[in-house]
Structure 1
Amino acid sequence: MLPLTRRPPSRIRSFQRGPVPCSLATFMAATPRPWYRSPALWFALPGLIFLLWGWVFSMQRVANLNFEIGGYSGLIQNEGSAAGATWREAPRSHITPARTFDFKLLPRSPRASTEWFPLPYYLSNRTTSSSRPWHQLEIPYWLLVLVYLGVWQLPWLARYHRQRRIARSLAIVPADAMKPADGAGPD
């Protein structure tokens, strides 16, 4: 059996005689672990379960959080397979430092939409001359789950590219293939 060796980097190849031995530990560090042993899986899985639970929960109940902070009043809502936020700016003359919070959990109306894949939207009356402009943003759960899964893949992609780079730098070859050609390199 031929010993495991690796090619030296090209910029220092002329200063070394023959192949550089590769230890078993270095070789084993470049072999990938199974997907189920990845920390990226176990750290991100609770977030995915929470998003899926929120999606199913929003189809059965309505959760509202009303708040007023300073000059803003708002509503964060979980209803109809979408997470939404609505906020209003108070007129400059009515700004108060009061803070109030109100949480409500209500059953969903039987006449409410049962659409599982609604489109995202943003509404605002800021362009009109209103005394109290408001904004409404709703992001459906299917889009939140897709974005979360995409961000979840980033650590795995980074690890994959890192392992490919390590494997390329190790370039396992037989020891006979590393003998310098005649006249190449110092004697």
Structure 2
Amino acid sequence: MRGSTTAAVSAASLILGAVVLAVVVAPGTYGSFSSATIVSPATVTTGTPSLAITTGTPVTPAGVYPGGPADLIAVRTVTNGGAVGLRLGAAVALAGPSSSNLGGNVVVSFATQTSATCAATPPASGLWTWSLAGGLTSPTTAPTLASGASATLCVWQSLPATAPNGTFAASASPTLTLTGSQTSP
């Protein structure tokens, strides 16, 4: 048995040696192509955003009642003083809202527009709407503000017809936060 194992190993070694020899002495060229280019350094600079909100035209709210029309409660001027265009985003917060008080039932709607005068009621499109039950609903297309441009921010409040009686003669102070994200040039 030992002789056949040795013969098999010798035959395998002979075949391996022949393959290595054939590869080494075979005619042909082994080549590799390489290329490099030096690129001059570049400076990447980001734009600077600057979003400011200032008091606009004073408004005296008329008050709202369950199921009644929305009431204009605030007018502000939003200005982009930065070097880049901004896409506007928003958040609303309200301290202590519950389903039985005004804070839990008030609907806050707001929109930006180019006109300095706000309509008495919210527009049909381009509107953010917030309620405790529904959260924040954003416009289908987020409004943008070009560098150096201004817009009027209009804020309305309303009460759904389902608001409880506990909302009568009450007050709520929602906090509206606008944000600006750089738009691509």
Give TM class, smaller chain.
under 0.3
Higher CA-based Rg: 2
Superposition TM-score, scaled by structure 1 size: 0.23
TM-score by length of 2: 0.23
